[in-house]
Amino acid sequence: MSHPDDSFIRMSYYLLKDNINKILDYGFGSGVTTMHLAQRNFNVTGLEVSQEAIKLTHQRLTAINATAQLDLYDGAPQLTYSDNSFDAIIAWQSLTYNTPNSFEKIMAEFHRVLKPGGVFLAAISAPGDHIHTTSTPLDNGARQLEAAGQEGATVFIPTEEQLCSLCPTNNLTLGKITLDYQAISNIICKYHLVHYIK
């Protein structure tokens, strides 16, 4: 995939206005959100756990003559960025790879590094998503993956109530995204769309 999904593109154009400059793209994976944001001339910092993903994204940015700061995340409970560092934080389909406890901690860290008036935008797997329906339940929304290459990994599929209780603000706007691929691969993707302004 060389472009973010349509939902991200639409939401980013709607929410990331002229007052937004410095953006943290958390868990950027293949780099499509980072590339999209960099092409829109935002000052993008990408944070990723995979050195291979960083290398790939750097190559992809170079190929389109765009730049972004790409940082390796070691999973530490505290991010290395200063308080109030970012105008916006994007976590598009990357927060699923947490436990309920680590989810709450990273959300508190996002709130810490987000500037007052800053925008938080995320898409998080929701109950009914293919990850939810093909994994084994553990406890409190945590599940264990069974997919090849990810066997045993823990993910967090929160309910709306859990999202509201684990996020550091009561100023959340929640929505839903459903993508139905049953005709070609028997997969349904369901996401919580999470947005707030600090």
- The number of angstroms, rounded, from the C-alpha of 1 to the middle of its chain's C-alpha atoms is 17
User: Residue 41: its pLDDT value, please?
Assistant: 95
**Is 0.85 surpassed by the pTM of this model?**
yes
Indicate the pLDDT class of residue 103, thresholds 50, 70 and 90: very high
74 exposed, middle or buried (CB, 10 Å; 0-12, 13-18, 19+)? Answer: exposed
What is the strand order of the sheet 86-92 is part of? Answer: 69-72, 43-48, 22-26, 86-92, 114-125, 188-197, 173-180
User: Residue 20: its pLDDT value, please?
Assistant: 95
Mean of the per-residue pLDDT values of the chain: 91
* Rounded (10°) CA dihedral 124, 126, 132, 138: 90
> What's the pLDDT tens digit per position in 13-72?
888 988 899 999 999 999 999 999 999 999 999 999 999 999 999 999 999 999 999 999
pLDDT value at 161 more than 70: yes
* Distinct helix (H) and strand (E) counts, the chain: 7, 10
pLDDT value at 156 more than 80: yes
